[in-house]
Amino acid sequence: RTTNNSRVDSFQSLFSQMLDRSTIPGFKSVLAVAMFAQASVFMLQRGPAVVTAFSLATTFSTKSAVAASRSASSYGVRHAFSPRTSAASMKLQMSSVLEEGVDLKEKVVVEHPAYEVIEKDFIEEYGAAATLYRHKKSGAELLSVSTDDDNKVFGVTFRTPPEDSTGVPHILEHSVLCGSRKYTTKDPFVQLLAGSLQTFLNAFTYPDRTCYVVASQNDKDFYNLISVYADAVFHPRAISDPMVHAQEGWHLELENKEDPLIYKGVVFNEMKGVYSSPDSLLNRESQRSLYPDTTYGVDSGGDPRVIPDLSFEQFAEFHKKFYHPTNSRIYFSGDDDVLARLEIMDSYLDEFDFSPESKPGSVIEWQKKKYTEPRKEVHPYPIGEDQPETHMININWLLNDEPLSSYDEVTVGILDHLLMGTSSSILRKTLMESGYGEAITGGGLSDELLQATFSIGMKGVMPDDVPKLEKLVIDTLEKVVKEGFEADAIAASMNTIEFSLREFNTGSYPKGLSFMLGAMTKWLYDQSPTEALKFEKPLAELKEKIAESGSKPFQDMVQKLFIENLHRSTIEMKPSKTYESELLKEEEDRLKSIKDSMADSEIEKVIETTQKLKELQAAEDSPEDRATIPALEIGDLKREVTEYPLEETKNENDTGITVIRHEFGSTSGIAYVNLAVDLSSLAVEDIPLLPLMTRMMMETGAGEYDQVALSRRIGTYTGGLSTTTLTTAVHPEGSSQNAIMDGNHLQSKLLVRGKATSDNVGELFDLMKTVLTEAKFDSKSRVVEMLKETKAGMEAGIGAGGHQAINTRMKARYRVGGYIDEAMTGIAQLDTVRELLEQTENDWPSLLARLENMRSTILNENTCRDGMILDITGDKTVLENVQPSVDKFLNDLPGQSDGEKRPNFYVEEHPWIAPIKKLMSELVPIADEGFVLPTQVSYVGKSGLLYDEGEESNGSAQVVSKFLKTGYLWDHVRVMGGAYGGFCTYSPFSGFFSYLSYRDPNLAKTIDIYDAAGDAVIAAAEQMKNDPDMLSQAIIGTIGEMDGSLGPDMKGFVAFQRWLVNESPETRQRLRDQIIDTKAEDFEAFGKRLNNLKEASCAVVSSQTGFEAAEKAGKKFTLKTIV
């Protein structure tokens, strides 16, 4: 309902709704699916997810926690842990879990005649009992992890090392879920996505493995999902049907003999998008440069220039070679019955015999560290005509060519945090302060593969500064060897990692998924899977060595892994304004040459194949085929909406501050805290400065602490601290909560968010007050660094995720909340950042005065306590223990308890409304906009209003939207159009509706597809009258999308947002009832509304060439160059 910085118009964030199979830049170690870094991991279902600070997936190995904390810090959170008493209190809080684990230990060793037990273990750190089985007949290994978690996870992983960059493992990952021996629809994956209660349903390709994962809280649903996935990986239709390879991988397309040949294919177009991203190109060249002799030197995702070299025969042979059960690693976790797990997998494995060549044939070879001097390479990357000709650089090390001990893994992980983990870490800070570039590249440690690497560099570097930057990196590392790290820096990093490990907060992602991905970092390489899940012993060993010799373990590690290590590469990316046009011409020339060499009969064959593929893609699955997919029934759904505890105390202790508490069964001794301060007194023209101001509060020092000291204190005493903003439309008092919100009633808050163990909450509160009231805004140089970094990040983000940018832009045209979102996070914010950079250089005193005035306005002594809210989540013991600190904090906060009262924004119009509506008509008029950047693909959006303000809406609209995403748009934009994704968003609160595509080879054709969607929905409504299962699956999928699994911190924050929006439990229940009671007639009504979308307009990210082609097809846009 609400997110950081603005109102969001759908239940989940845009990216978490995405149903396209899209690319993730990578996983840092085993950070589940919420952490993205430099290695290539291609995901089947979703695009780059929006990760909020308190929904980061933290895992169970120290190296993973390092990455978690660093990724978190990029969102303003630094996970931390206090060395004094918090470890003991955390351990005490875990004791109940461990006691329950004794029962698990007794239950878990289940005997089954088809399996032999090869290892059993109890993971004390997480109260999880694990048994590793080997299937006697097939040789498959199965890890069964028993926990008390009802969010059950199943996964099957194959070692799939490619020999070239044709992308065969990636294409196969897409293809195996396109029908199987038992489940005969064209795309069972989509049916599961559309009609199950899955909490995770995906597949992803690493450089050396392919994983297929499902999760559900419903036992029946869980085993349905397992059945489909197991049949898919072992018996896919794809290996006997070339049309699947053609659709998902690549094919030649030709409709008329006179037309030019073109390449089409989902993965082909996906990778075109990847290879349009400068950051992706830099990271790929970095990895390739370190691995000249092994599989890691090629691109498992596929190089678009090489993908068309892959034949169907090679594709099918790859499955035969690597997808045998002997080469599989099967995983279960959760509270389901172990015997049921073994039984269902035996039913699939029993028909296979052990393959003696399968495992040896997939072994990953070690790359020897053989360079006698560092390697240097220069490669081009695409820039726009008006973009500055700056370079990008990565300096990369291959860290090991033999296994690291658990102690070494822990040490290098914490070393990575010391070097790169926060904005005050020595290597990161030194580079940013150098002025040589705009933003950090490389991401530091990458350790999810057989061998670990480390990459560091910058983008936005002038040519003359490239050698200076490389020297600065080496000099900084040599300084570390000579001088070591300060004791408080070590303490902060150690505590950050330990807090993350013990909290084990995976946000909305299943904990079992994190277990699986962690286990795979050992298991894949034929080591014990449970060793990756243990951290107590190596962490204790490192603590002991630090107590004995201080910084020496880290200094020795830097000397060995960096200074003495010559297996190093420097990758310089040189800007090219002709890069995209050269690639396009190369592709056109290749296709022309192919066509010129064809006989007439061969050309006719391509035309026939093109037509046949289109017919197959357009054909609907028969009712008999659809019936093969196991499905739930409406009666399996929980009718009651889930509510979370909330206790409100207004004017607590006569302080004028409202306190909200959420009590849960156990929060592991941790308190999660949000302090909300009202922003309504700010001038509208200051809204675009809020992202800069909130970041300065965290990164420029505060009170007695400079930037470094503040970061370390946060790391030492808390589990994370962040500042952000939250703006949301609210239900006015007395209004119909079924009606579309009028948008005139808002709540606008500055949030200071943090977490700590209960004994450190007093310290957390002191830090929250300090950053709120005493942040140092006077560091011009640091502001320049932050603005440059933000600018570079936003430019890269639009290129990699243009659909998010255009959706934000389109929302700004219709609703005040959308305008605020655009001003703080969208293309308008990028314009603001560029203007602020110029102002900082030319008129810093004016900008500083403006920022200081914003803070003094927000914290006005006479008004700031009215509208101030303290929100706390914890268990009963935590809430009792922190109360004295709460009392002190409320008294210490600025403002007068009996100060002036603000207007009641549930009754009166928010003061931003009128001026913003005027700005909307001037700055974001309803028009078709095109945003130009160098890219080989497009992101195409169209939007409008389905309902007017005050008009009654119905929950059935969400069912139709879900149906559109997983049906019509999937089929026409993705399957037939060749885009990587096509989907839609709908807000039952604002009436806003949008169509979006992702990495799309088309532009005008996609808009035509959107325009026909209403008729498609009306036609589907007619079908549903004769096929009730079609309707019920859409309903079930919608409920599944709503009913995720959340930790207590997120549950508390959801409850807080519900309260802030003034949404009643009755409203939520009514919405759920309307969803479950959806009828075919509701689809028909929705389709008619789509055909009359009000104030419709488009927004598109594409290349200049793309817009020129669209204009020839009759689609004209007002163009703006982004980069």
Work out the burial of residue 1116: count CB atoms within 10 Å of its CB; fewer than 13 is exposed, 13-18 middle, 19 or more buried.
exposed
pLDDT in tens, 1000-1012: 999 999 999 999 9
pLDDT, the chain, mean = 89
Query: Does some domain include residue 508?
Result: no
Query: Does some domain include residue 6?
Result: no
pLDDT(25) > 60: no
Query: Does some domain include residue 116?
Result: yes
* C-alpha triplet 1044, 1045, 1051: angle, nearest 5°: 100
Could you tell me if 902 and 1016 lie in one domain? no
Q: Which candidate, 212, 443, 203, 170, places its Cα nearest to that of 298?
A: 170
Q: Which entry of 125, 173, 253, 470 is annotated as an active-site residue?
A: 173
Would you say the C-alpha torsion 576, 582, 584, 590 has a positive or negative sign? negative
pLDDT in tens, 523-549: 999 999 999 989 999 999 999 999 999
Q: How far apart are CA 1083 and CA 1018, in angstroms?
A: 6
Q: Which entry of 125, 141, 248, 929 is annotated as an active-site residue?
A: 248
Q: Which two structure tokens, joined as six digits, stand for 204? A: 């992803």
Mean pLDDT of 941-950: 94
pLDDT in tens, 669-699: 999 999 999 999 999 999 999 999 999 999 9
Distance in Å from the first CA to the final CA of the chain: 32
Residue 484's region, left for phi above 0, alpha for psi from -120 to 50, else beta, is: left
Q: Are 6 and 14 in contact (CB under 8 A)?
A: no
The number of domains in the chain is: 4
Flag the least confident range among 14-23, 135-144, 263-272, 576-585: 14-23
Instruction: For 790-843, give the secondary structure using H, E and C.
Output: HHHHHHHHHHHCHHHHHHHHHHCCCCHHHHHHHHHHCHHHHHHHHHHHHHHHHC
Q: Which two structure tokens, joined as six digits, stand for 7? A: 């109102």
pLDDT(795) > 50: yes
Q: Are 510 and 518 in contact (CB under 8 A)?
A: no
Could you tell me if 483 and 418 lie in one domain? yes
Query: Does some domain include residue 32?
Result: no
Q: How far apart are CA 146 and CA 107, in angstroms?
A: 9
Mean pLDDT of 138-151: 96
pLDDT in tens, 886-899: 999 999 999 998 88
Non-local (6+) Cβ contacts of 297 within 8 A are 287, 288, 290, 291
pLDDT of residue 535: 92
Mean pLDDT of 303-320: 98
pLDDT of residue 742: 82
pLDDT in tens, 97-144: 333 444 555 555 899 999 999 999 999 988 899 999 999 999 999 999
pLDDT of residue 106: 58
173 catalytic per annotation: yes
Containing domain of residue 1090, as a range?
925-1121
Would you say the C-alpha torsion 12, 18, 24, 28 has a positive or negative sign? positive
Could you tell me if 539 and 492 lie in one domain? yes
pLDDT of residue 950: 87
List residues bridging with 442 in a β-sheet.
none
Could you tell me if 606 and 706 lie in one domain? no
pLDDT of residue 61: 34
Q: How far apart are CA 612 and CA 623, in angstroms?
A: 22
Q: How far apart are CA 196 and CA 637, in angstroms?
A: 10
Q: Which two structure tokens, joined as six digits, stand for 132? A: 């590793």
Q: What share of the chain is helix, strand, coil (3-state, %, to 5)?
A: 50, 20, 35
Non-local (6+) Cβ contacts of 1118 within 8 A are 927, 928, 929, 930
pLDDT of residue 48: 26
pLDDT(56) > 50: no
* % of the chain residues with pLDDT over 70: 90
Non-local (6+) Cβ contacts of 1035 within 8 A are 634, 637, 959, 1075, 1076, 1078
The count of residues in the chain is 1123
Could you tell me if 815 and 953 lie in one domain? no
CATH number at residue 419: 3.30.830.10
Q: Which two structure tokens, joined as six digits, stand for 320? A: 């035969």
Other Cβ atoms less than 10 A from the Cβ of 589: the count is: 10
pLDDT of residue 103: 58
pLDDT in tens, 799-809: 888 999 999 99
pLDDT(1040) > 60: yes
**What φ, ψ does residue 651 adopt, rounded to 5°?**
50, 50
Query: Does some domain include residue 510?
Result: no
pLDDT(93) > 90: no
Other Cβ atoms less than 10 A from the Cβ of 602: the count is: 12
690-699 vs 780-800: helix axis angle to the nearest 10?
120
pLDDT(157) > 70: yes
pLDDT(19) > 90: no
pLDDT of residue 104: 57
pLDDT of residue 346: 98
Cα 976 to Cα 246, 273, 609, 955, 1009, distances in angstroms:
11, 18, 14, 30, 11
- Give the CA count within 13 Å in the CB-facing half-sphere of 278: 34
Could you tell me if 937 and 904 lie in one domain? no
Q: Are 6 and 824 in contact (CB under 8 A)?
A: yes
Could you tell me if 673 and 614 lie in one domain? no
Could you tell me if 1052 and 1002 lie in one domain? yes
Q: Which two structure tokens, joined as six digits, stand for 880? A: 């009792």
Query: Does some domain include residue 325?
Result: yes
Mean pLDDT of 1020-1047: 93
- Choose the final residue of a domain: 918, 953, 982: 918
* % of the chain residues with pLDDT over 90: 85
Could you tell me if 569 and 713 lie in one domain? no
Q: Are 154 and 328 in contact (CB under 8 A)?
A: no
Query: Does some domain include residue 899?
Result: yes
- Choose the final residue of a domain: 862, 893, 918: 918
Confidence of residue 502 (pLDDT cuts 50, 70, 90): confident
Query: What does 31-82 look like in DSSP terms, one character per residue?
Result: -TTT---SS-EEESS--S----TT-----SSHHHHHHHHHHHHHTT------
Could you tell me if 693 and 555 lie in one domain? no
If one compares 1045 and 979, the residue with the highest pLDDT of the two is 979
pTM here is 0.90
Cα 121 to Cα 67, 150, 534, distances in angstroms:
26, 21, 11
- Choose the final residue of a domain: 918, 935, 955: 918
Instruction: For 864-929, give the secondary structure using H, E and C.
Output: CCCCCEEEEEEEHHHHHHCHHHHHHHHHHCCCCCCCCCCCCCCCCCCCCHHHHHHHHHHHCCCCCE
Query: Does some domain include residue 242?
Result: yes
Confidence of residue 735 (pLDDT cuts 50, 70, 90): confident
Could you tell me if 859 and 725 lie in one domain? yes
List residues bridging with 995 in a β-sheet.
942, 984
* C-alpha triplet 21, 27, 29: angle, nearest 5°: 150
Could you tell me if 618 and 678 lie in one domain? no
Enclosing H/E stretch for 985: strand 981-986
pLDDT of residue 16: 30
Q: How far apart are CA 557 and CA 408, in angstroms?
A: 9
844-858 vs 780-800: helix axis angle to the nearest 10?
80
Cα 559 to Cα 420, 562, 991, distances in angstroms:
17, 6, 59
